[in-house]
Each structure stands twice: as C-alpha cells, then as structure tokens.
Amino acid sequence: MSSKDHKVTTTAAASDVVVNGGGEEVEEEESEAVRAMHARVEAEWGPVLKSACQTAAARALWGRAVRDPAAAVLAGEGFMRRIRERMRRDEEAGARQVHGVMIAVRTLWFDARIEAAVAKLGAGGDAQVVLLGAGMDARAYRLSCLKECTVFELDFPELLEMKSDLLQETMSSANNQKLTMMAKSLTRVPADIRDGDWITKLQSYGYLPEKNTIWVLEGILYYLHHVHAMQVLETIVACSASVHTVLLADFMNKNAVSLSQTMYHFYHDSPDLLLPSIGFSQVTLSQIGDPQAHFGLLSHPQNLFDKLRRLPRSVETNPEDGTPCCRLYLVEASAFPDDQTTKQDIKSIE
C-alpha cells in the first residue's frame, strides 16, 4: 500500500502525542528531523498547502485566546517567525487590528459551534465530525466535546502525511508536554475534494451516511472554483437524506476574493440565501465582530471588522475611505430529511 492510500485511524486509547505547551510564545527549538520536514514544506509546497501552516502559526501565536498545543509544531519555525514579526509591527504601530486576529476569532467561532452542534446531534449517541480541507487542524486533540465523536480529517495526501509525521516525530522530545486525543477516534482520509469521488473515499474509510454528521469547512470553500465548491455543498446536502446534518463554513464575498485572484475563487455575497436554495435550513450568518464572533479580541474602537458589520451588506465600498468592503461570513446551517422531501416536492411542481 502506498503512502497515498495509507489509512490512519487513531483512537483515544492510543493517542498520546508530545507537543509544545501552547502558550502565547513557543520557545523550544525544533528537532533536526522536524526542521527537515518543514524545510520540505517551504521548498515543495504551493501557496494553498502552505496556508495550512500559516493558519497553525496564527493559532499558536494567539495562544492567549486559542488553546492549540500542537499548533506551533504543525506550523514550523519559519511561519511562526514571519507571522510573529507581522504581529510585532502591528502592535508597535498601534494598529486597529493585529495580524492573525481574524484567524483567532474564526477558530473560536468554529470551536463554539462544533461544541453546540455535538451537544445537539450527539444527544442520542455519538455523532460524526468531518473536517474537509482539515489542514493542520488539531481539534481532535484539543476539544473535549468530541469525546464521543468519530472524527474524519480529509485533505491532500501529502499534507496529511506530513501532519502525521510531525506529530509522531515530536513524541521523542522529552521537553514537551503530552497532547491526549480528545475524540473517540480520528481517521485521516487522503483525498482531493475537487475530485467527484471524495465522498466515496470517505465512506471507504468508515464514514456512515446514516449517522448524524457535523461538516466543518473552515477556510476551504474560497480556495475552490465555483463548480467544485457547489459540488461539495450539494454532496453534503445529499448526505442528509436520512439524518440530521449541520454545516459550519466560512464564505468570502466578491470583494474579499479579489484580494488574491490566484488563490481565491469561490465567493457568495449572500450565503444565507444560497444554502436554503440547495436544501439547507435554519441558516445563521455572522460576521467577525458580531457578538457571537468577537470573543473579546477586537478591543480597538475603530477596528475594521466593527466598521464593516455596521454597514449594510449591500454596500461594496466603504464610504469613509473608499476601500472595498471585504467580508468574511461565518455560517451555520442544518439539513433534515424533511428538508429534502420538501425540496423535491417543490421541484416536481415547478
């Protein structure tokens, strides 16, 4: 079996991994083996894969808010150094928002909504949690609410292999703390969600369509082209034919995607209208800075996120300075079997 097809399943009973302690600053030096792995990342990975390490670095450096003890190891010294320097410059300049705060708030919002969804869906037994485009996410190791959940991480084979190797390599470090698996089990699924058979591969790794499922799409949809993003969303809806499904995702608006047209593609200015049109219901939309997406991290009275959320979403240009209104929407939606029946009835009438 090639590394590309290698199945990795870990249970809570065999899940102790040694990692850094997850404080605001991580001073321990990487081992030579870990440094060599991150050198490969720097040399061989493209910008989309590298964004996973950048996200991990931001989580590590915002450790006073986000407890992610594995983040620094998964990020690597290079990404940590560069993002730390950007944060230092922002702080010295008295910036209205410090670099990485959006990732910190986004992470905490997803954490909170996952916990609430698990409490709701897992009441009658364990729920499945599927992280699409999981990147260097370590929620299976840090969220206690997942203790009765089967967790799946789906991403590019080379990323998941690197992630597993990094965590395993740190087990030899005597200076670091132990990180214990919180989830009931964790299965890593090497797959590309742009391929039409990703759901089939997920099922072959143990995902059960007949079980309640929480789908986590953090920082992934806007990297996809429109056709692939819609296929992913429609596939998730199709999986709710007989079970309760919760979708947690973030969407960029058109202006935000234009910040990097080589990196970002899919956008929607009204995801709260899009999702019901394909079968979701009970859609809740938040913006960074809203009461449920603040977490005390946006203290500057003139921070950009508060200004944006006070403007109607239809406004494309900030009237104060003429800059485009670049928005990130945090969205929770549900799908029930009855939703699919109703939608099919409507289509038959049309």
- 């799946």: which residue's tokens? 152
Number of domains forming the structure of the chain: 1
Residue 116 lies in a domain: yes
Residue 93 lies in a domain: no
**What is the residue-level pLDDT of the chain in tens, covering all 350 positions?**
334 454 556 665 444 443 333 334 444 567 888 999 999 999 999 999 999 999 999 999 999 999 998 999 999 999 999 999 999 999 999 988 899 999 999 999 999 999 999 998 876 567 999 999 999 999 999 999 999 999 999 999 999 999 999 998 876 665 555 678 899 999 999 999 999 899 999 999 999 999 999 999 999 999 999 999 999 999 999 998 889 999 999 999 999 999 998 999 999 999 999 999 999 999 999 999 999 999 999 988 888 899 899 999 999 999 888 899 999 999 999 998 865 544 444 343 34
What CATH number is attached to the domain comprising 14? 3.40.50.150
Residue 187 lies in a domain: yes
What one-letter code names the amino acid at 155?
D
Residue 30 lies in a domain: no
Helix (H) or strand (E) holding 309: helix 304-310
B/e letters for 312-350, b = 16+ CB within 10 Å, e = fewer, are: ebeeeeeeeeeeebbbbbbbbbbbbeebbeebeeeeeee
- pTM of the predicted model as reported, rounded to 2 decimal places: 0.90
Return d(Cα 24, Cα 60) in angstroms, integer. 7
Residue 72 lies in a domain: no
Residue 180 lies in a domain: yes
Residue 34 lies in a domain: no
Determine phi and psi for 45, rounding to 5 degrees: -85, 150
User: Got the DSSP string for 316-347?
Assistant: -B-TTT--B---EEEEEEEE-HHHHHHHHHHH
Residue 69 lies in a domain: no
Range of the domain at 326: 3-20+100-349
